[in-house]
């Protein structure tokens, strides 16, 4: 049996409204485990707690019940072993690409010749060689998202979290970035959790797709994607690919109709 | 071709950055020329109106008259004493406003409790015309240098505090969250996000404060004083030495322009990353 990287046991997350004191159960009884080197995608209707799950793994949110173990250690807060790629690039506008990529390293107080070389290496890996001195406003949305990715990678986390990182990109750039992400991932084999609303994106990228349902957020199904790697974009026209997409669609539709909107 | 349009392929080089443009008079050079001509035209117009006595030169003097008056004043020791006194009052009052105002404003923006404590006072005093306090200030601090320092401080302080607090409230929460994801400490967030994002606001506050401080100096000295450029100016005006009065006005205006320009330079230095 392969080593478990991340395990979530009986995880509940509850938000308490500061003003009214009302409780919202965002996640209920999440049990799952992720193996080292796996690429996981999470899909589910809006508001089903995907971001909440990622924020809990990141250590931003404390579970109200249950635990998350990363490499057999309980997650208590943000740590150097995890980094996050956010939906918006969140770059410091007054810093160059290189200095932005160095930002995480700097905050972790690990600036050195070696880590700088590492940052440059990741800039090259995400395809931004030659743009080290450019500023964020000089880059396209897709390029900014690459900087975001390089920054998260260059702290060399053992778990990479991505919350809808391509959702702000146009369809073409998005497909291109999906392919790029797989290329980068194939070179690093970082355990990754990737949230998306696009089912074909999830099937294209993932080893396994977790389908979440809402009210309260829970794991509906864990679907293994048995499409061989490396995957070209044309795998999206493969019959098996379409089958996966259809199946996940049905699941999400069922979940959404339970919520009351169709 | 601009970089923004390009999805970079792996071996895209930086060649496309070096596009040579044909040499032309730059837009800013052209705008500068227009401004120079505009000012010259105004001065000539002024001189003519005064020369033809369309308006009594006693009220408006004339550019040449002002230059002559300046020539005389600049050799006068008392004129320089006046300038020195005003400069001292302004510098001390203004520096105090910066030294106290910026940290106080930043801290108020960072700490909600502190903000709740000072906000009622700052908001109320911000809109109070501080010159209305002059009578009390003069009684409390005398007609000398001290009262002028106080009024300069009061007038410059509030715009500076307000913009520093405002700056902190506009911080990008997403950036802070990102920093936290990399285990940033509060101090690191302050240093790497809060401070750099506040610089433009702080400089803007300083710019507003400069204008207010210069008004304070003149009004303060006009109201009650024994020396200073505002004193000189009031005296000249009351004795119908209009040209001399204008020299004082120009000295103050010139100081304002130079100081604002300096702030502009600092601003440029801090915003070199910004798009044109
Ligand atoms: N800070 C918060 N305070 C209170 N409730 C919250 C908070 N954040 C999220 N929620 C609630 O928790 C539930 C899950 O939200 P979450 O953002 O995790 O959903 P999501 O699956 O990421 O949705 P989306 O697909 O729209 O991004 C929602 O019902 C939401 O209203
Ligand atoms: Mg979300």
Query: Average pLDDT of B53-60?
Result: 86
What's the CA-to-centroid distance between A15 and ligand 1, angstroms?
9
Residues in chain B within 8 Å Cβ distance of A178 = none
Do B44 and B126 fall into the same domain?
no
Cβ of A138 and B188 within 8 Å?
A: no
Please provide residue A120's backbone torsions phi and psi, each rounded to the nearest 5 degrees.
-60, -40
Separation between Cα atoms, residue A202 and residue B118, nearest integer Å? 52
Q: So what's the pLDDT on residue A128? A: 92
| Same domain, residue pair B155 and B47 | no
- How far is residue A123's CA from residue A136's CA, in Å, rounded to a whole number? 14
Mean pLDDT, chain B, integer: 87
Q: Give the end of a domain, one of B8, B42, B60.
A: B60
Query: Closest approach of chain A CAs to the CA of B9, in angstroms?
Result: 7
> What is the pLDDT at residue A172?
87
What residues of B are in contact with residue A106 (Cβ under 8 Å)? 192
B250 and B180 part of one domain:
yes
Give the ipTM of the model, two decimals please.
0.89
Q: Is the pLDDT of residue B276 over 90?
A: no
Closest residue CA from atom 11 of ligand 1: A26
Alpha carbon distance A92, A108 (integer Å): 17
Give the gap in angstroms from C-alpha B14 to the nearest C-alpha of chain A.
6
pLDDT of residue B2: 44
Would residue B65 count as lying in a domain? no
Q: Quickly tell me which residue has 């579970």 as its tokens.
A: A63
A43 contact partners, CB below 8 Å, separation of at least 6: A50, A195, A196, A197, A199, A202, A209, A210, A211, A212, A248, A252
CB contact under 8 A, A60 and B180: yes
Contact yes or no for A193/A161 (Cβ under 8 A) = yes
Contacts (Cβ under 8 Å, ≥6 apart) of A257: none
Prediction pTM value: 0.76
CATH number at residue B219: 1.10.3720.10
Tell whether ligand 1 has an atom less than 6 A from the beta carbon of residue A196.
no
Best CA proximity match to B217, nearest among B161, B159, B155, B259 = B155
- Could you report the per-residue pLDDT of A221-261, keeping only the tens digit for each? 999 999 998 898 889 999 999 999 999 999 998 887 776 55
pLDDT level of residue B6 (50, 70, 90 thresholds): very low
- Atom index in ligand 1 nearest the CA of residue A164 equals 27
Q: Residue B14 is nearest to which of A95, A130, A176, comparing CB atoms?
A: A130
What are the structural domains, with CATH classification, of chain A?
1-81+159-262 (3.40.50.300), 85-156 (no CATH)
Please write the tens of the pLDDT for every residue from B232-269.
988 898 888 899 999 999 999 999 999 999 999 988 88
Query: In whole angstroms, what is the distance from residue A74 CA to residue A8 CA?
Result: 10
Contacts of A93 in chain B (CB under 8 A): 273-274
What's the pLDDT at A257? 79
Residue A24 Cβ inside 6 Å of ligand 1? The answer reads yes
CB of residue A26 inside a 6 A radius of ligand 1? yes
Better pLDDT: B115 or B270: B115
Of A193, A222, A207, give the one whose Cα is nearest residue A82.
A193
- Domain shared by B79 and B190, yes or no: yes
For tokens 């478990």, what's the residue?
A4
Using an 8 Å Cβ cutoff, are B247 and B73 in contact?
Answer: yes
Ligand having the closest approach to the CA of A86: 2
Interface test with A, best of B4, B172, B183, B187 (most A CBs within 10 A): B183
Residue matched to tokens 């009065």: B245
Q: Which residues of A touch B275 (CB under 8 A)?
A: 137-138
Residue B38 burial (CB count, 10 A) = 10
Domain containing residue B221: 70-270
Q: Determine the average pLDDT of the residues in B91-118.
A: 92
Q: Assess whether B76 and B33 both reside in one domain.
A: no
Q: Looking at the CA of A48, which ligand is closest?
A: 1
pLDDT score at B13: 44
In a domain, B224, yes or no: yes
Separation of A51 CA from ligand 2 center, angstroms?
4
Residues above pLDDT 70, as percent of chain B? 90
Report residues of chain A scoring pLDDT below 50: 262
Write out chain B residues lying below 8 Å of A142, CB-based: 7
Selection from A113-117, B71-75, B190-194 with the highest mean pLDDT? A113-117
Cβ of A128 below 6 Å from ligand 1: no
B122-164: pLDDT as tens digits:
999 988 888 889 999 999 999 889 999 999 999 999 999 999 9
Q: What is the DSSP string of A30-88?
A: EEEEEETT-EEEEE-STTSSHHHHHHHHHTSS--SEEEEEETTEE--S--TTEEEE-SS
Assigned domain for B247 exists: yes
Range of weakest confidence among A68-72, B23-27, B100-104: B23-27
> Closest Cα partner for A144 from A131, A158, A163?
A131
C-alpha span between B180 and B189 (Å, rounded):
8
The answer to whether residues B47 and B109 belong to one domain is: no
Q: Look at residue B8 and tell me if it is in a domain.
A: no
Per-residue confidence (pLDDT) for residue A2, from 0 to 100: 57
Q: Quick check: CB of A25 below 6 Å from ligand 1?
A: no
Separation between Cα atoms, residue B200 and residue B168, nearest integer Å: 11
| pLDDT at B20 > cutoff 70 | no
- Does residue B107 register a pLDDT over 50? yes
Tokens for B160, please give them: 């500076």
Please tell me if the CB atom of residue A51 comes closer than 6 angstroms to any atom of ligand 1.
Answer: yes
Nearest Cα to Cα of residue A232 among A198, A186, A188: A186
Q: Residue B226: pLDDT band by 50, 70, 90 thresholds? A: confident
């Amino acid at each position: 049996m392969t080593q478990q990287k991340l395990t979530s046991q009986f995880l509940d997350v509850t938000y308490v409204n500061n003003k009214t004191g009302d409780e919202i159960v965002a996640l209920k009884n999440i049990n799952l485990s992720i193996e080292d080197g796996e690429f996981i995608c999470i899909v589910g209707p809006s508001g089903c707690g995907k971001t909440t799950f990622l924020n809990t793994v990141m250590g931003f949110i404390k579970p109200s019940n249950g635990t998350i173990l990363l490499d057999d250690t309980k997650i208590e807060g943000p740590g150097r072993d995890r980094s996050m790629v956010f939906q918006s690039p969140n770059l410091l506008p007054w810093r160059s690409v290189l200095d932005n990529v160095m930002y995480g390293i700097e905050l972790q107080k690990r600036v050195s010749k070696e880590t700088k070389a590492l940052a440059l290496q990741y800039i090259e890996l995400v395809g931004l060689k030659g743009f080290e001195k450019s500023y964020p406003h000089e880059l396209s949305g897709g390029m900014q998202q690459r900087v975001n990715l390089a920054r998260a990678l260059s702290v060399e986390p053992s778990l990479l979290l991505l919350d809808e990182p391509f959702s702000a990109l146009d369809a073409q750039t998005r497909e291109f970035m999906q392919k790029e992400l797989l290329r980068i991932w194939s070179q690093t084999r970082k355990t990754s959790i990737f949230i998306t609303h696009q089912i074909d994106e999830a099937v294209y990228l993932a080893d396994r797709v977790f389908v979440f349902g809402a009210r309260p957020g829970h794991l509906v199904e864990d679907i293994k994607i048995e499409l061989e790697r490396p995957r070209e974009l044309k795998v999206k026209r493969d019959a098996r690919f379409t089958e996966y997409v259809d199946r996940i669609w049905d699941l999400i539709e069922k979940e959404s109709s339970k919520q009351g909107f169709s | 071709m601009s970089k923004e349009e390009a999805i970079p392929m792996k071996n895209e080089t930086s060649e496309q950055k070096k596009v040579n443009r044909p040499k032309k008079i730059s837009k800013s050079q052209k705008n500068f020329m227009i401004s120079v001509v505009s000012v010259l035209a105004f001065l000539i117009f002024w001189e003519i109106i005064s020369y033809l006595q369309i308006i009594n030169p006693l009220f408006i003097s004339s550019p040449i008259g002002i230059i002559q008056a300046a020539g005389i004043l600049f050799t006068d020791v008392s004129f320089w004493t006046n300038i020195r006194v005003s400069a001292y009052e302004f510098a001390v009052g203004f520096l105090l406003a910066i030294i106290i105002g910026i940290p106080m404003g930043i801290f108020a923006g960072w700490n909600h409790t502190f903000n709740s404590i000072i906000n009622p006072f700052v908001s109320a005093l911000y809109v109070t015309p501080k010159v209305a306090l002059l009578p009390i200030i003069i009684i409390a601090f005398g007609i000398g240098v001290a009262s002028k320092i106080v009024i300069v401080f009061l007038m410059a302080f509030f715009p500076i505090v307000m913009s520093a607090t405002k700056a902190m409230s506009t911080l990008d929460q997403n950036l802070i969250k990102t920093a936290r994801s990399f285990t940033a400490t509060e101090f690191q967030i302050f240093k790497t996000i809060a401070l750099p994002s506040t610089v433009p606001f702080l400089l803007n506050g300083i710019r507003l404060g400069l204008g207010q401080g210069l008004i304070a100096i003149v009004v303060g000295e006009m109201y009650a004083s024994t020396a200073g450029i505002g004193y000189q100016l009031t005296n000249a005006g009351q004795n119908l030495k209009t040209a001399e009065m204008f020299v004082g006005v120009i000295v103050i205006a010139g100081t304002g322009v130079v100081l604002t320009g300096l702030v502009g330079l600092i601003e440029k230095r801090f915003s070199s990353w910004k798009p044109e």
